[in-house]
């Protein structure tokens, strides 16, 4: 074979090999890029951000998000943050085109050494642009195929976007631990500061987290986190971004997680959960959890705290009244320091502390606490803990014999709940109450819900007893019986009969209603009958005026959609909610103008575009101003001279009515000052008696009083305004529309059913 032929054959072979290689590369490239995402989608990048609920005073009380992120545009990121992250992650960022060849070379050599030493391969060498490509479009699997796709996408991203935009995407997308995505969210999570408030040491700490947030978590691994943080500060100094003095100061700076004081935080879990469900129903999961809504509510931070504290205090006071139900558990005294911190914390324990009884004497007990400190429990703080007695078949609970010594209650090894007293190192025995309750506070002029607490502890039960629980209002409903009488022509001084009577409520079944005093009082003024919360007088009234006026009042005031035409309903046997009943009382204070509760003022999207604003409330006049004012004055006398006197706050004008049901299953108090309407309910979730004579006046009214004492502190007395001639056109039009009782459309003006949602 001649040389020419051999040369030709070689040429053909080489060409074939080159063609195969080219074809293989082409096929590989097509295979890699066939399903490659379009980086143009980044132009419309809207990262998931946090939806926040704001109180009326601007305080944030709830946040909801799938990923905790607060987006920060590039121009608002402090330069030191940018310099630090670039120094640690990609110092050549502003000079490469998406791939840093020197970085790849370093990563290759490191991986080669890992293979040689029998260690696993770590890809490494990724630029910030590559990390954007990976975080937005690819998985985190450590494969060569993924790495090649990452590089190809990085080139495309660099072609389409400025360096500033790429860096903005990166700093807002990265995960930095603790459920925090992006630098602003991480700053708030780790240090309770905004990005602009961080020290150099804190910025440097955040910059080391993208690679391994759990590995460098300072609060778990202090030494390694500080060592890496200080390395980052050293690199900043070497690159000329900080001075030597700044470096030394930052490296000596301790890291500590600062938290808001508990007393300044807003516990509004029941309110926020009610609102969360509402937003979710109206706008859907995506908008609520990803679109960073700004929701401005009606909540008042100070009143919310007062309401929570008052309800808790009242429920604890009632609970102590019926004694000690026993220890939480037991632990060995010998190794208590090793076991108490892992002991399961009971739900609703806060603000109490967990403790173990270490030694018991006649007049005191020594205790060990969760934080491993020691304390004393003297007899005087244990004497309330008489044995709780309530057995099947018993109507009322009771308590055992008097506590004479600490050993009557506690033994060594008992795990208990305690709270600190004013004396240092001295504690009081506590108990998580079983009883539940709720409190709601309204502004009668606007209908704004200023405070709402739906139970003792949201941790224990998310059921909101202010809006979800339907219970019999008992005597609190009598107010509207007397209102229907005033609308029918009676006056506050009209004489009515409070005489014993009986009814056949079913064939062969007689009903003998009685007053709580088990006495009858003959002829009494109407206002005295309300003041003393008599039972027989309102029954006689309804016999005289008929049930229809009462049914109409119950419906138009929003207490219930339908009141059965049965005489027993006069005593509040028809179930309602605390919010409905409180709004009904608010209407009386508001001069007969319907109070329509609302809890949201406005909703904005992430770009601060208004997407919802509470509409102007359409005013409805439900009763005349004179009738409303007469009821207010009658309710005021109930507080100053009658059955509601436990609600009286000296120096202030208050009005209200207690509510109690048969066998004391439910206790209510609904009352108001000149500008606040407050409703309180107390009862067991699984209805049972609160105890003999545990009326609304004994159980619920003190909670109202405690709240009002705080809310009105420092304010001058404000009497209830007398009726005056209103010069508003809509009042006359409404009066005309409802003047004819036979006009069916008049009911539309009385439709005051509390809305199921804010929308």
The reply to whether 354 and 391 lie within a common domain is yes
Please tell me which residue, 657 or 148, carries the higher pLDDT value: 657
* Domain-embedded: residue 137: yes
Residue 153 is predicted with a pLDDT of 77
Whole-angstrom distance, CA of residue 590 vs CA of residue 607? 38
The reply to whether 13 and 74 lie within a common domain is no
The reply to whether 205 and 85 lie within a common domain is yes
Going by their DSSP bridges, the two strands 364-369 and 374-378 should be labelled as: antiparallel
Determine the 3-state secondary structure of 585 from DSSP: helix
Residue 731 predicted with pLDDT over 90: no
Local confidence band at 685 (pLDDT 50, 70, 90 cut-offs): very high
**Are 532 and 642 contacting, i.e. CB atoms less than 8 angstroms apart?**
yes
CB atoms within 10 A of CB 441: 26
Q: List pLDDT tens digits, range 165-218.
A: 889 888 988 899 888 889 998 998 899 888 999 999 999 999 999 988 989 988
The reply to whether 583 and 701 lie within a common domain is yes
Residue 608 is predicted with a pLDDT of 86
**Are 180 and 186 contacting, i.e. CB atoms less than 8 angstroms apart?**
yes
Q: What is the 3-state secondary structure (H, E, C) of 221-265?
A: CHHHHHHHHHHHHHHHHHCCCCCHHHHHHHHCCCCCCCCCCHHHC
What residues pair up with 603 in beta bridges, in sequence order?
Answer: 295, 612
List Cα–Cα distances, 341 to 112, 425, 457, 658, in angstroms.
Answer: 47, 19, 22, 44
Whole-angstrom distance, CA of residue 427 vs CA of residue 416? 11
Residue 19 predicted with pLDDT over 60: no
The reply to whether 453 and 494 lie within a common domain is no
* Domain-embedded: residue 187: yes
Determine the 3-state secondary structure of 6 from DSSP: helix
Q: List pLDDT tens digits, range 615-641.
A: 988 889 999 999 999 999 999 999 999
Residue 296 is predicted with a pLDDT of 96
Whole-angstrom distance, CA of residue 250 vs CA of residue 570? 73
* Domain-embedded: residue 278: no
Local confidence band at 755 (pLDDT 50, 70, 90 cut-offs): very low
Phi then psi for residue 367, to 5 deg, are -130, 155
The reply to whether 134 and 228 lie within a common domain is yes
**Catalytic one of 89, 173, 291, 531:** 89
Residue 510 is predicted with a pLDDT of 82
Please tell me which residue, 108 or 66, carries the higher pLDDT value: 66
Rounded (5°) CA angle 176-182-74: 140
- H or E segment to which residue 528 belongs: helix 526-531
Local confidence band at 724 (pLDDT 50, 70, 90 cut-offs): low
Residue 745 predicted with pLDDT over 50: no
Residue 607 predicted with pLDDT over 90: no
Residue linked to tokens 């709402």: 452
The reply to whether 454 and 536 lie within a common domain is no
Q: What is the DSSP string of 171-222?
A: HHH-B-STTEESHHHHHHHHHSS-GGG--HHHHHHHHTTTT-TTTT-TTT-H
- H or E segment to which residue 13 belongs: helix 3-33
Q: List pLDDT tens digits, range 578-605.
A: 999 999 999 999 999 999 999 999 999 8
**Are 68 and 212 contacting, i.e. CB atoms less than 8 angstroms apart?**
no
* Domain-embedded: residue 259: yes
CATH number, domain of 382, equals: 2.40.50.140
Which one, of 429, 427, 431, lies nearest residue 374 by Cα? 427
* Domain-embedded: residue 539: yes
**Are 479 and 714 contacting, i.e. CB atoms less than 8 angstroms apart?**
no
Residue 757 is predicted with a pLDDT of 52
Q: List pLDDT tens digits, range 37-48.
A: 555 656 666 677
Local confidence band at 448 (pLDDT 50, 70, 90 cut-offs): very high
Average pLDDT score, the chain: 86
Residue 754 is predicted with a pLDDT of 43
* Domain-embedded: residue 269: no
The reply to whether 216 and 314 lie within a common domain is no
Residue 14 is predicted with a pLDDT of 58
Residue 257 is predicted with a pLDDT of 65
> Could you list the residue range(s) of the whole structural domain that residue 410 is in?
326-430
CB atoms within 10 A of CB 186: 27
Least confident window among 305-319, 334-348, 717-731: 717-731
Residue 13 predicted with pLDDT over 70: no
Structural tokens at position 627: 């009738």
Q: Which of 400, 430, 460 is the last residue of a domain?
A: 430
Going by their DSSP bridges, the two strands 388-389 and 398-399 should be labelled as: antiparallel
The reply to whether 413 and 441 lie within a common domain is no
**Catalytic one of 301, 457, 475, 497:** 475
Which one, of 348, 349, 350, 330, lies nearest residue 340 by Cα? 330
Whole-angstrom distance, CA of residue 754 vs CA of residue 560? 10
Residue 106 is predicted with a pLDDT of 55
Whole-angstrom distance, CA of residue 324 vs CA of residue 328? 11
Q: Return the exposure string of 579-608: e unless at least 16 CB atoms fall within 10 Å of the residue's CB, then b.
A: bbbbbbbbbbbbbbbbbbbbbbbebbebee
**Are 498 and 529 contacting, i.e. CB atoms less than 8 angstroms apart?**
yes
* Domain-embedded: residue 364: yes
Q: List pLDDT tens digits, range 250-263.
A: 999 988 766 444 44
The reply to whether 77 and 21 lie within a common domain is no
Q: How many CA atoms lie within 13 A of 291 on its CB side?
A: 18
Model's pTM, two decimal places? 0.80
How much is the average pLDDT of 273-278?
94
Q: What is the DSSP string of 284-314?
A: -HHHHHHB--EEEE---HHHHHHHHHHHHHH
Least confident window among 104-113, 240-249, 305-314, 513-522: 104-113
CATH number, domain of 702, equals: 3.40.710.10
Q: How far apart are the first and last CA of the chain?
A: 93
- H or E segment to which residue 365 belongs: strand 364-369
Quick check: bond before 280 cis, omega within 30?
no
Q: Could you give the percent of the chain with pLDDT greater than 70? A: 83
Active site residue 636: no
Residue 101 is predicted with a pLDDT of 60
Whole-angstrom distance, CA of residue 649 vs CA of residue 357? 40
Least confident window among 168-172, 327-331, 690-694, 716-720: 168-172
Q: Which of 362, 396, 430 is the last residue of a domain?
A: 430
The reply to whether 22 and 158 lie within a common domain is no
How much is the average pLDDT of 98-112?
58
Residues in CB range of 498: below 8 A, 6 or more apart: 515, 520, 521, 522, 523, 524, 529, 534, 536, 537, 540
Q: Which of 218, 236, 264 is the last residue of a domain?
A: 264
Residue 84 is predicted with a pLDDT of 94
Dihedral of CA 134/138/139/145: which sign? negative
CATH number, domain of 180, equals: 1.10.3810.10
Local confidence band at 16 (pLDDT 50, 70, 90 cut-offs): low
Whole-angstrom distance, CA of residue 121 vs CA of residue 117? 11
The reply to whether 205 and 238 lie within a common domain is yes
* Domain-embedded: residue 380: yes
Local confidence band at 4 (pLDDT 50, 70, 90 cut-offs): low
Active site residue 194: no
Rounded (5°) CA angle 626-631-637: 130
Q: Could you give the percent of the chain with pLDDT greater than 90? A: 62
Domain count, the chain: 5
Residue 747 is predicted with a pLDDT of 34
Determine the 3-state secondary structure of 711 from DSSP: helix
Residue linked to tokens 């429920």: 315
């Amino acid at each position: 074979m001649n040389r020419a032929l051999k040369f030709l054959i070689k040429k053909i072979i080489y060409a074939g090999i080159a063609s195969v290689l080219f074809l293989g590369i082409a096929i590989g490239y097509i295979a890699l890029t066939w399903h490659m995402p379009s980086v143009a989608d980044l132009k419309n990048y809207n990262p998931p951000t946090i939806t926040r609920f704001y109180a009326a005073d601007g305080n944030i009380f709830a946040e909801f998000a799938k990923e905790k992120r607060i987006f920060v545009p590039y121009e608002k990121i402090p330069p030191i943050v940018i310099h630090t992250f670039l120094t640690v992650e990609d110092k050549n960022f502003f000079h490469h085109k998406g791939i840093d060849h020197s970085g790849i070379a370093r990563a290759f050599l490191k991986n080669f050494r890992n293979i040689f030493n029998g260690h696993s391969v770590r890809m490494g060498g990724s630029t910030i642009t590559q990390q954007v490509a990976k975080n937005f479009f690819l998985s985190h699997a450590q494969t060569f195929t993924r790495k090649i796709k990452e590089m190809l996408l990085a080139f495309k991203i660099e072609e389409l976007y400025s360096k500033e935009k790429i860096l903005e995407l990166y700093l807002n997308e990265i995960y930095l631990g603790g459920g925090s995505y992006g630098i602003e969210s991480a700053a708030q999570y780790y240090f309770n500061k905004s990005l602009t408030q961080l020290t150099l040491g804190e910025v440097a700490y955040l910059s080391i987290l993208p690679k391994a947030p759990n590995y460098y978590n300072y609060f778990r691994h202090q030494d390694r986190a500080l060592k890496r943080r200080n390395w980052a500060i050293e690199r900043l100094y070497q690159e000329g971004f900080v001075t030597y003095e700044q470096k030394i100061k930052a490296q000596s700076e301790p890291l500590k997680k600062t938290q808001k004081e508990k007393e300044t935080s807003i516990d509004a879990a029941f309110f926020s959960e009610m609102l969360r469900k509402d937003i979710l129903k109206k706008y859907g999961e995506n908008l609520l959890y990803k679109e960073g809504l700004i929701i401005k509510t009606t909540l008042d931070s100070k009143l919310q705290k007062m309401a929570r504290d008052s309800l808790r205090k009242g429920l604890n006071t009632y609970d102590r009244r019926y004694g000690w139900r026993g220890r939480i558990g037991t632990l060995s005294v010998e190794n208590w320091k090793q076991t108490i911190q892992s002991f399961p914390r009971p739900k609703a324990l806060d603000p109490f502390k967990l403790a173990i009884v270490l030694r018991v004497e006649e007049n005191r007990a020594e205790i060990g606490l969760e934080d491993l400190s020691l304390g004393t429990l003297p007899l005087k703080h244990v004497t309330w803990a008489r044995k709780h007695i309530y057995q099947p078949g018993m109507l009322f609970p009771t308590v055992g014999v008097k506590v004479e010594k600490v050993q009557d209650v506690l033994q060594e090894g008992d795990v208990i709940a305690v709270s600190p007293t004013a004396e240092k190192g001295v504690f009081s025995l506590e108990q998580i109450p079983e009883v539940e309750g709720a409190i709601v506070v309204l502004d009668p002029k606007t209908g704004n819900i200023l405070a709402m607490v739906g139970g003792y502890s949201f941790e224990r039960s998310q059921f909101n007893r202010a809006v979800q629980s339907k219970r019999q209002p008992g005597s609190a409903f009598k107010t509207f019986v007397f209102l229907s009488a005033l609308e029918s022509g009676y006056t506050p001084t009209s004489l009515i009969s409070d005489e014993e009577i009986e009814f056949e409520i079913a064939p062969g079944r007689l009903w003998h209603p009685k007053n709580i005093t088990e006495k009858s009082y003959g002829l009494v003024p109407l206002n005295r009958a309300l003041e003393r919360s008599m039972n027989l007088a309102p029954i006689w009234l309804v016999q005289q005026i008929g049930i229809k006026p009462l049914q109409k009042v119950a419906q138009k005031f929003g207490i219930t959609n339908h009141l059965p035409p049965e005489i027993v309903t006069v005593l509040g046997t028809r179930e309602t909610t605390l919010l409905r009943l409180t709004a009904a009382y608010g209407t009386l204070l508001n001069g007969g103008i319907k109070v329509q509760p609302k809890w949201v003022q406005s909703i904005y999207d992430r770009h601060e575009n208004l997407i919802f604003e509470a509409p102007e409330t359409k005013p409805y006049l439900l009763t005349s101003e004179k009738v409303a004012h007469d009821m207010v004055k009658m309710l005021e006398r109930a507080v100053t001279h009658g059955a509601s006197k436990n609600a009286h706050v000296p120096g202030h004008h208050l009005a209200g009515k207690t509510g109690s049901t048969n066998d004391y299953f439910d206790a209510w108090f609904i009352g108001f000052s000149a500008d606040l309407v407050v409703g309180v309910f107390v009862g067991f979730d699984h209805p049972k008696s609160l105890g003999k004579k545990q009326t609304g006046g004994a159980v619920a009214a003190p909670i109202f009083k405690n709240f009002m004492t705080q809310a009105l502190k420092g304010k001058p007395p404000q009497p209830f305004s007398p009726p005056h001639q209103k010069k508003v056109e809509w009042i006359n039009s409404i009066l005309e529309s409802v003047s004819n009782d036979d006009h069916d459309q008049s009911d539309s003006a009385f439709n005051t059913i509390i809305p199921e949602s804010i929308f």
